[in-house]
Structure 1
Amino acid sequence: MSIADRQRALERRPELGRVAQQLEIYENLLLRWQSSINLVGRSTLDEVWTRHFLDSAQLADLAPLDRRWADLGSGAGFPGLVIALFQQTHAAGEMHLIESDKRKAAFLREVSREIGASAHIHNERCEDVLSEIQPEVVVSRAMTDIGRLIAYAQPFVEKGGVGLFPKGRDIVVELTRASIPSNFQIVLKQSRTDPEAAIVQVLRD
């Protein structure tokens, strides 16, 4: 663990301090599992707190925590498991992590258990489980292109939900290629952790 990276994250988002002990457990498990399965980019392992924990936490400002959230292709649990920790003070909040890879789903179960996050882990494909979950907030960090993410979220945004999708520098190009329903509003929120990144907020007009 980089102590300096941890301190930077806590300074930029003091609320992380309330769950710092749980995040330390999370980080240790991530580093242990990373040796056997690829969970995050190796270049980010010294910056887990800023590149992953802090980056995930910013989504908590863009949708109510007391809603039913679904994290598509959750992988290492970002952003879903970090949001689930913030949901601990919101009894009505739910977090569903959808991950088709059995090994990654096993990792998510272990982390969720060890940090005490009340997350539901689904080792299934998104298209097979989303209609059952009926999420009100759909998030995904790195699963696929924005067009497919909007398609996954469409039935739930139509009902008044919201999609939140962190994307990198190519997001404008992705959006020009995407099929976006005419009654949807796309808002680009500047990422607080990466000046070249944005969070795509998908809403119904």
Structure 2
Amino acid sequence: MPPDKRSSDGPEVLRPILDVSRETVDRLTVLVELVRKWQPAENLVAPSTLPDIWRRHVADSAQLVPLFPSARRWLDLGSGGGFPGLVLGCLLADRPGAAVHLVESNGRKCAFLRRAAAATGSPVTVHQGRIKSILAGWDTPIDCLTARALAPLDRLLDLSEPILAAGAPAAFFKGADFVREIDEATQSWDLDLVEHKSRIDDRGVILEIRQALRRDAGERPA
């Protein structure tokens, strides 16, 4: 039987990223245990990452808080297993005005997200449906939009255009191939972006999109 890797993977991995209270650790621990419980039936995260869940998913998601310290109202697209949305909810639960909106089309995953939000006491609202449909009529103020492991950058910009056009920035998690994704996206978009090196994945970044303007048809960068 393989060794249990969880013994070296726990809330201590958060320390280099941000200080968290005992209450916050308790909320995150509840979340992690719920993911473990639901994983066999719902495949919430890649199975190979489950033994390293605190680093690969919790700490990775937690990077957003120090990058956007004033953001209280978040919108997480394609929330899936709740990373980063549920982690943000746990981290911001004690902050006045905090609200995290999760958009997910899969009904069973939405059931998990609602269960985890209730169990952790997080300020989370789950919106079930297709992203385009939900954002088409979105009128709730948002400080920052995010997505993790959802789609290529050009597709993310298309999906999130209503929120970006309203002035909210976006924070997209990207892996080693992020330069190619930027090159492809800038064929259709004028971007004001900042690359934040990931503190978890040596090859990854968090792309901060400050502004995204769609190019006219046929227009290409010089």
TM-score for the superposition, normalised by structure 2: 0.85
Q: Which of 139, 145, 163 is residue 138 of structure 1 equivalent to?
A: 145
| Mapped partners of 2:152, 2:143: distance in 1 | 20
1:13 partnered with 2:17: yes
Q: What's the CA shift string for 1:118-152, capped at 9, x where partnerless?
A: 10001111111123254331100011111111122
Whether contact under 8 Å (2:82, 2:113) holds in the other structure is yes
Return the offset for 1:180: 4.9
Structure 1: which 5+ residue stretches go unaligned? none
Count the aligned residue pairs.
204
Q: 2:189 aligns with which of 167, 181, 186?
A: 181
Partners of 1:74 and 1:140 within 8 A in 2: yes
Matching residue's letter, 2:80: G
Deviant stretches of 4+, over 6 Å: none
Q: Which moved more, 1:8-17 or 1:110-119?
A: 8-17
TM-score of the superposition, structure 1-length normalised?
0.91
Cα pair distance change 1:97/1:160, threshold 3 Å = same
Tell me which amino acid in the other structure corresponds to 2:138: E
Give yes or no for contact 1:150–1:163 (8 Å, CA) kept in 2.
no
- 1:25 CA displacement: 1.2
Distance 1:174 1:66, change over 3 A: closer
Deviates more, 1:126-135 or 1:80-89: 126-135
Deviation of 1:33 after TM superposition, in Å, equals 0.7
Match of 1:171 among 157, 172, 178: 178
- Which one of 6, 14, 17 corresponds to residue 2 of structure 1? 6
The answer to whether the 8 Å contact 2:79/2:102 transfers is yes
Counterpart contact for 2:98–2:123, Cα < 8 Å: no
- Per the alignment, residue 201 of structure 2 pairs with 194
Q: Which has the larger radius of gyration?
A: 2
Paired with 2:13 and 2:139, the residues of 1 have a C-alpha distance of: 32
Which whole-Å CA distance do the structure 1 matches of 2:158 and 2:20 have between them? 32
SS in 1 for 2:110: helix
Whether the 8 Å CA contact 1:68–1:93 is kept in 2: the answer is yes
Choose which of 17, 40, 45 in structure 1 pairs with 2:45.
Answer: 40
Distance across 2 between alignment mates of 1:21 and 1:93: 18
Q: How does 1:15-94 map to 2 (within 5 A)?
A: 15-18=19-22, 19-94=24-99
Give the number of the structure whose residues are more often helix, by fraction.
1
Residue-by-residue CA offset, 1:137-182 (whole Å, 9 max, x unaligned) = 1100011111111122233223321100011001111111115533
The root-mean-square deviation of aligned C-alpha atoms, in Å, is: 1.9
Contact kept in structure 1, 2:114 and 2:126, CA below 8 Å: yes
